[in-house]
Structure 1
Protein backbone atom coordinates (compact mmCIF):
# COMPACT_ATOMS: atom_id res chain seq x y z
CA UNK A 1 0.00 0.00 0.00
CA UNK A 2 1.28 3.47 -0.87
CA UNK A 3 -0.43 5.99 1.45
CA UNK A 4 -1.09 9.59 0.53
CA UNK A 5 1.30 11.99 2.33
CA UNK A 6 -0.32 13.53 5.41
CA UNK A 7 -0.01 17.06 4.04
CA UNK A 8 -2.00 15.99 0.97
CA UNK A 9 -4.81 14.45 3.03
CA UNK A 10 -6.34 17.88 3.62
CA UNK A 11 -9.19 18.82 1.25
CA UNK A 12 -7.84 21.50 -1.11
CA UNK A 13 -11.32 23.08 -1.29
CA UNK A 14 -12.53 23.35 2.33
CA UNK A 15 -9.55 22.22 4.42
CA UNK A 16 -11.33 19.19 5.94
CA UNK A 17 -9.31 16.08 6.91
CA UNK A 18 -10.05 13.51 4.20
CA UNK A 19 -10.69 9.80 4.93
CA UNK A 20 -9.68 6.65 3.02
CA UNK A 21 -12.51 5.54 0.73
CA UNK A 22 -10.85 2.87 -1.42
CA UNK A 23 -7.73 1.39 -3.02
CA UNK A 24 -6.73 0.53 -6.60
CA UNK A 25 -4.36 -2.15 -7.90
CA UNK A 26 -1.53 -0.59 -9.96
CA UNK A 27 1.19 -3.22 -10.68
CA UNK A 28 3.23 -6.14 -9.36
CA UNK A 29 7.03 -6.33 -8.94
CA UNK A 30 9.36 -9.25 -8.29
CA UNK A 31 11.91 -8.56 -5.56
CA UNK A 32 15.10 -10.62 -5.24
CA UNK A 33 16.45 -11.28 -1.75
CA UNK A 34 20.05 -12.65 -1.92
CA UNK A 35 20.92 -15.79 0.02
CA UNK A 36 22.55 -15.40 3.43
CA UNK A 37 24.67 -17.73 5.55
CA UNK A 38 24.63 -18.04 9.30
CA UNK A 39 26.63 -20.14 11.74
CA UNK A 40 24.71 -22.25 14.24
CA UNK A 41 26.63 -23.35 17.33
CA UNK A 42 25.37 -26.26 19.40
CA UNK A 43 25.95 -26.53 23.15
CA UNK A 44 24.84 -29.38 25.36
CA UNK A 45 23.62 -28.64 28.87
CA UNK A 46 24.49 -30.66 31.95
CA UNK A 47 22.06 -31.23 34.82
CA UNK A 48 23.16 -32.39 38.22
CA UNK A 49 21.17 -33.61 41.20
CA UNK A 50 21.85 -31.35 44.21
CA UNK A 51 20.67 -33.98 46.69
CA UNK A 52 23.04 -36.67 45.46
CA UNK A 53 25.84 -34.12 45.33
CA UNK A 54 25.43 -33.29 49.01
CA UNK A 55 25.10 -36.92 50.07
CA UNK A 56 21.52 -37.39 51.30
CA UNK A 57 20.48 -39.10 48.04
CA UNK A 58 20.63 -42.82 47.25
CA UNK A 59 24.18 -42.58 45.89
CA UNK A 60 27.42 -41.11 47.12
CA UNK A 61 28.43 -40.09 43.59
CA UNK A 62 27.12 -36.96 41.86
CA UNK A 63 24.41 -37.64 39.26
CA UNK A 64 24.92 -35.69 36.03
CA UNK A 65 22.80 -35.94 32.89
CA UNK A 66 23.64 -34.15 29.62
CA UNK A 67 21.19 -33.03 26.95
CA UNK A 68 21.44 -34.78 23.58
CA UNK A 69 22.72 -32.62 20.72
CA UNK A 70 21.32 -33.49 17.25
CA UNK A 71 23.82 -35.65 15.34
CA UNK A 72 25.95 -33.98 12.67
CA UNK A 73 25.18 -34.61 9.03
CA UNK A 74 28.72 -35.88 8.45
CA UNK A 75 31.77 -36.11 10.69
CA UNK A 76 32.87 -33.01 12.54
CA UNK A 77 32.69 -30.62 9.60
CA UNK A 78 30.45 -27.58 9.28
CA UNK A 79 28.07 -29.14 6.75
CA UNK A 80 24.39 -28.81 7.56
CA UNK A 81 21.62 -30.55 5.63
CA UNK A 82 20.70 -27.29 3.89
CA UNK A 83 24.31 -26.49 2.92
CA UNK A 84 24.94 -29.95 1.49
CA UNK A 85 21.60 -29.97 -0.33
CA UNK A 86 22.31 -26.55 -1.85
CA UNK A 87 25.74 -27.71 -3.03
CA UNK A 88 24.28 -30.76 -4.77
CA UNK A 89 21.41 -28.78 -6.27
CA UNK A 90 23.79 -26.18 -7.68
CA UNK A 91 26.06 -28.81 -9.22
CA UNK A 92 23.59 -31.32 -10.62
CA UNK A 93 20.48 -29.23 -11.29
CA UNK A 94 22.12 -25.94 -12.28
CA UNK A 95 25.40 -27.34 -13.64
CA UNK A 96 27.55 -25.10 -11.43
CA UNK A 97 31.06 -26.60 -10.96
CA UNK A 98 32.45 -26.91 -7.45
CA UNK A 99 35.30 -24.47 -8.12
CA UNK A 100 32.73 -21.77 -8.86
CA UNK A 101 30.69 -22.72 -5.83
CA UNK A 102 33.87 -22.34 -3.80
CA UNK A 103 34.01 -18.70 -4.93
CA UNK A 104 30.33 -18.20 -4.06
CA UNK A 105 30.86 -19.46 -0.52
CA UNK A 106 33.79 -17.07 -0.18
CA UNK A 107 31.55 -14.17 -1.15
CA UNK A 108 29.17 -15.28 1.60
CA UNK A 109 32.08 -15.04 4.04
CA UNK A 110 32.83 -18.77 4.33
CA UNK A 111 36.06 -20.49 3.31
CA UNK A 112 35.08 -23.92 1.95
CA UNK A 113 37.32 -25.66 -0.57
CA UNK A 114 36.01 -27.54 -3.57
CA UNK A 115 37.55 -30.70 -2.09
CA UNK A 116 35.40 -30.30 1.00
CA UNK A 117 32.31 -29.73 -1.14
CA UNK A 118 33.10 -32.89 -3.11
CA UNK A 119 33.46 -34.84 0.13
CA UNK A 120 30.03 -33.61 1.24
CA UNK A 121 28.50 -34.97 -1.95
CA UNK A 122 30.32 -38.30 -1.79
CA UNK A 123 29.46 -38.88 1.88
CA UNK A 124 25.78 -37.99 1.47
CA UNK A 125 25.42 -40.11 -1.65
CA UNK A 126 26.86 -43.18 0.10
CA UNK A 127 25.21 -42.79 3.49
CA UNK A 128 21.84 -41.20 2.66
CA UNK A 129 21.04 -41.66 -1.03
CA UNK A 130 22.37 -45.18 -1.58
CA UNK A 131 19.93 -46.78 0.92
CA UNK A 132 17.02 -45.02 -0.82
CA UNK A 133 18.33 -46.06 -4.23
CA UNK A 134 18.59 -49.69 -3.09
CA UNK A 135 15.04 -49.58 -1.74
CA UNK A 136 13.55 -48.26 -4.98
CA UNK A 137 15.65 -50.76 -6.92
CA UNK A 138 14.03 -53.61 -4.98
CA UNK A 139 10.59 -52.09 -5.57
CA UNK A 140 11.23 -51.71 -9.31
CA UNK A 141 12.08 -55.42 -9.62
CA UNK A 142 8.65 -56.27 -8.20
CA UNK A 143 6.81 -54.49 -11.03
CA UNK A 144 5.29 -56.28 -14.04
CA UNK A 145 6.53 -53.81 -16.66
CA UNK A 146 9.75 -51.79 -16.90
CA UNK A 147 11.71 -49.75 -19.44
CA UNK A 148 15.44 -49.52 -20.04
CA UNK A 149 17.80 -47.49 -22.20
CA UNK A 150 21.45 -46.50 -22.27
CA UNK A 151 23.23 -43.40 -23.52
CA UNK A 152 26.83 -42.33 -24.01
CA UNK A 153 28.46 -40.13 -21.39
CA UNK A 154 31.97 -38.70 -21.19
CA UNK A 155 33.96 -38.97 -17.98
CA UNK A 156 36.88 -36.55 -17.97
CA UNK A 157 39.00 -38.06 -15.21
CA UNK A 158 38.58 -41.79 -14.68
CA UNK A 159 41.43 -43.97 -13.47
CA UNK A 160 43.00 -46.04 -16.21
CA UNK A 161 40.90 -44.51 -19.02
CA UNK A 162 41.34 -41.65 -21.46
CA UNK A 163 38.98 -38.69 -21.31
CA UNK A 164 37.91 -39.45 -24.89
CA UNK A 165 36.76 -42.95 -23.98
CA UNK A 166 33.00 -43.41 -24.06
CA UNK A 167 31.18 -44.56 -20.97
CA UNK A 168 27.48 -45.22 -20.55
CA UNK A 169 24.64 -44.05 -18.34
CA UNK A 170 21.78 -46.52 -18.05
CA UNK A 171 18.18 -45.58 -17.30
CA UNK A 172 15.73 -48.00 -15.76
CA UNK A 173 12.18 -46.95 -14.97
CA UNK A 174 8.81 -48.45 -14.13
CA UNK A 175 6.01 -48.62 -16.66
CA UNK A 176 2.67 -46.86 -16.79
CA UNK A 177 0.93 -49.21 -14.36
CA UNK A 178 -0.87 -46.66 -12.22
CA UNK A 179 1.66 -46.91 -9.40
CA UNK A 180 4.22 -44.32 -8.38
CA UNK A 181 6.95 -43.87 -10.99
CA UNK A 182 10.40 -45.22 -10.21
CA UNK A 183 13.30 -43.84 -12.25
CA UNK A 184 16.85 -45.03 -11.56
CA UNK A 185 20.18 -44.30 -13.24
CA UNK A 186 23.22 -46.53 -13.30
CA UNK A 187 26.74 -45.93 -14.61
CA UNK A 188 29.03 -48.40 -16.34
CA UNK A 189 32.33 -47.87 -18.17
CA UNK A 190 31.15 -50.02 -21.11
CA UNK A 191 27.95 -50.89 -22.95
CA UNK A 192 28.16 -54.53 -22.01
CA UNK A 193 24.81 -56.20 -21.46
CA UNK A 194 26.20 -57.62 -18.22
CA UNK A 195 25.32 -54.33 -16.54
CA UNK A 196 21.65 -54.64 -17.50
CA UNK A 197 21.74 -58.30 -16.48
CA UNK A 198 23.15 -57.43 -13.06
CA UNK A 199 20.72 -54.57 -12.47
CA UNK A 200 17.64 -56.57 -13.52
CA UNK A 201 18.60 -59.76 -11.70
CA UNK A 202 15.43 -61.16 -10.17
CA UNK A 203 13.07 -59.28 -12.50
CA UNK A 204 10.58 -61.43 -14.45
CA UNK A 205 8.16 -59.02 -16.14
CA UNK A 206 8.00 -57.22 -19.46
CA UNK A 207 10.93 -54.99 -20.46
CA UNK A 208 10.57 -52.32 -23.15
CA UNK A 209 13.90 -51.41 -24.81
CA UNK A 210 15.35 -50.26 -28.12
CA UNK A 211 17.04 -52.60 -30.56
CA UNK A 212 20.27 -53.02 -28.58
CA UNK A 213 21.20 -56.70 -28.44
CA UNK A 214 22.64 -56.47 -24.94
CA UNK A 215 19.17 -57.01 -23.48
CA UNK A 216 18.62 -60.31 -25.29
CA UNK A 217 20.42 -62.49 -22.78
CA UNK A 218 18.35 -61.46 -19.76
CA UNK A 219 16.85 -64.62 -18.24
CA UNK A 220 13.17 -64.74 -17.31
CA UNK A 221 12.37 -61.39 -18.95
CA UNK A 222 9.89 -60.86 -21.79
CA UNK A 223 11.34 -58.15 -23.96
CA UNK A 224 9.17 -55.65 -25.87
CA UNK A 225 10.52 -53.45 -28.67
CA UNK A 226 10.11 -49.70 -28.24
CA UNK A 227 9.47 -49.34 -31.98
CA UNK A 228 5.79 -48.46 -31.90
CA UNK A 229 4.75 -47.47 -28.39
CA UNK A 230 2.97 -50.14 -26.40
CA UNK A 231 0.11 -48.51 -24.54
CA UNK A 232 -0.75 -49.22 -20.95
CA UNK A 233 -4.11 -50.68 -22.07
CA UNK A 234 -2.37 -53.17 -24.37
CA UNK A 235 0.03 -54.23 -21.64
CA UNK A 236 -2.86 -54.60 -19.23
CA UNK A 237 -4.53 -56.97 -21.72
CA UNK A 238 -1.33 -58.98 -22.03
CA UNK A 239 -1.03 -59.31 -18.28
CA UNK A 240 -4.62 -60.54 -18.00
CA UNK A 241 -4.05 -63.19 -20.65
CA UNK A 242 -0.82 -64.25 -18.96
CA UNK A 243 1.18 -63.97 -22.19
Structure 2
Protein backbone atom coordinates (compact mmCIF):
# COMPACT_ATOMS: atom_id res chain seq x y z
CA UNK A 1 0.00 0.00 0.00
CA UNK A 2 1.37 3.38 -1.00
CA UNK A 3 0.30 6.49 0.90
CA UNK A 4 0.81 10.10 -0.19
CA UNK A 5 -0.49 13.23 1.49
CA UNK A 6 -0.41 16.98 1.17
CA UNK A 7 1.65 18.97 3.63
CA UNK A 8 -0.04 19.97 6.89
CA UNK A 9 -0.08 23.68 6.03
CA UNK A 10 -1.63 23.14 2.59
CA UNK A 11 -4.98 24.93 2.11
CA UNK A 12 -6.36 21.74 0.57
CA UNK A 13 -5.71 18.57 2.55
CA UNK A 14 -5.52 15.30 0.67
CA UNK A 15 -4.48 11.72 1.40
CA UNK A 16 -4.05 9.19 -1.39
CA UNK A 17 -3.95 5.45 -0.84
CA UNK A 18 -2.82 3.41 -3.83
CA UNK A 19 -2.43 -0.34 -3.98
CA UNK A 20 0.42 -1.79 -5.96
CA UNK A 21 1.26 -5.46 -6.19
CA UNK A 22 4.92 -4.47 -6.19
CA UNK A 23 7.16 -1.90 -4.53
CA UNK A 24 9.05 -1.31 -7.74
CA UNK A 25 10.22 2.00 -9.12
CA UNK A 26 7.86 1.46 -12.06
CA UNK A 27 4.86 1.75 -9.75
CA UNK A 28 6.32 4.94 -8.25
CA UNK A 29 6.77 6.38 -11.75
CA UNK A 30 3.13 5.66 -12.59
CA UNK A 31 1.88 7.00 -9.27
CA UNK A 32 3.79 10.30 -9.53
CA UNK A 33 3.52 10.82 -13.29
CA UNK A 34 3.00 14.52 -13.96
CA UNK A 35 3.96 15.54 -10.43
CA UNK A 36 6.25 18.54 -10.22
CA UNK A 37 7.56 19.79 -6.93
CA UNK A 38 9.20 18.68 -3.73
CA UNK A 39 8.83 15.09 -2.64
CA UNK A 40 9.72 14.14 0.95
CA UNK A 41 10.37 10.44 1.27
CA UNK A 42 12.28 7.78 3.14
CA UNK A 43 15.06 7.38 0.58
CA UNK A 44 13.67 4.20 -0.99
CA UNK A 45 15.67 3.50 -4.17
CA UNK A 46 12.48 3.00 -6.18
CA UNK A 47 12.09 6.78 -6.17
CA UNK A 48 15.38 7.26 -8.02
CA UNK A 49 13.63 7.06 -11.37
CA UNK A 50 11.12 9.86 -10.79
CA UNK A 51 13.07 12.31 -12.93
CA UNK A 52 14.24 15.89 -12.71
CA UNK A 53 10.78 17.43 -12.18
CA UNK A 54 10.80 16.04 -8.64
CA UNK A 55 13.12 17.44 -5.97
CA UNK A 56 13.58 14.66 -3.41
CA UNK A 57 14.25 15.58 0.19
CA UNK A 58 14.82 13.27 3.12
CA UNK A 59 12.98 12.66 6.34
CA UNK A 60 14.75 13.35 9.63
CA UNK A 61 12.77 10.61 11.39
CA UNK A 62 14.43 8.10 9.06
CA UNK A 63 17.82 9.73 9.59
CA UNK A 64 17.33 9.50 13.36
CA UNK A 65 16.48 5.80 13.11
CA UNK A 66 19.92 5.09 11.61
CA UNK A 67 21.67 6.90 14.49
CA UNK A 68 19.38 5.16 16.99
CA UNK A 69 20.21 1.73 15.57
CA UNK A 70 23.93 2.55 15.68
CA UNK A 71 23.64 3.73 19.30
CA UNK A 72 21.91 0.53 20.43
CA UNK A 73 24.59 -1.42 22.29
CA UNK A 74 23.37 -4.70 23.79
CA UNK A 75 19.83 -3.37 24.13
CA UNK A 76 20.86 -0.07 25.74
CA UNK A 77 20.88 3.24 23.90
CA UNK A 78 24.08 5.25 24.22
CA UNK A 79 22.85 8.78 23.49
CA UNK A 80 25.21 10.13 20.86
CA UNK A 81 25.61 13.76 19.89
CA UNK A 82 23.61 13.29 16.64
CA UNK A 83 20.74 11.68 18.57
CA UNK A 84 20.70 14.52 21.10
CA UNK A 85 20.70 17.13 18.31
CA UNK A 86 17.89 15.39 16.44
CA UNK A 87 15.82 15.02 19.61
CA UNK A 88 16.28 18.73 20.32
CA UNK A 89 15.25 19.55 16.75
CA UNK A 90 12.08 17.44 17.11
CA UNK A 91 11.29 19.13 20.45
CA UNK A 92 11.62 22.56 18.82
CA UNK A 93 9.44 21.43 15.94
CA UNK A 94 6.69 20.38 18.39
CA UNK A 95 7.05 23.71 20.22
CA UNK A 96 6.83 25.75 17.00
CA UNK A 97 4.23 23.74 15.08
CA UNK A 98 1.43 26.23 15.82
CA UNK A 99 3.33 29.16 14.30
CA UNK A 100 2.40 30.40 10.86
CA UNK A 101 4.92 29.66 8.08
CA UNK A 102 4.70 33.32 6.99
Shorter-chain TM-score bucket reads 0.5 to 0.7
Aligned twin of 2:56: 223
Flag the structure with larger Rg.
1
SS at structure 2 position matched to 1:191: coil
Q: Counterpart in 2 of 1:190?
A: 22
Q: Find the counterpart in structure 2 of residue 205 from structure 1.
A: 37
Give the 3-state SS of the residue equivalent to 1:216 in structure 2.
helix
From the two aligned structures, give the one with the greater helix fraction.
2
What secondary structure is seen at the aligned counterpart in 1 of 2:27? helix
Aligned equivalents of 1:189 and 1:178: distance in 2? 30
**TM-score, normalised relative to structure 2:** 0.55
For 2:75, the equivalent position in structure 1 comes to none
Structure 1 segments of 4+ aligned residues over 2 angstroms from their partners: none
Q: Where does 1:75-154 land on structure 2 (aligned, <5 Å)?
A: none
Q: How many residue pairs align between the two structures? A: 65
Of 1, 5, 11, the residue aligned with 1:179 is 11
Q: Distance in 1 between matches of 2:6 and 2:29?
A: 16
Q: What secondary structure is seen at the aligned counterpart in 2 of 1:222?
A: strand
CA distance in 2, matches of 1:203, 1:179: 18
| SS of residue matched to 2:60 | coil
Consecutive unaligned residues in structure 1, runs of 5 or more: 1-168, 238-243
Whole-Å separation in 1 of the counterparts to 2:60 and 2:46: 17
Local SS of the residue matching 1:176: coil
Structure 2, unaligned runs of 5 or more: 62-89
TM-score (norm 1): 0.24
Q: Distance in 1 between matches of 2:15 and 2:32?
A: 14
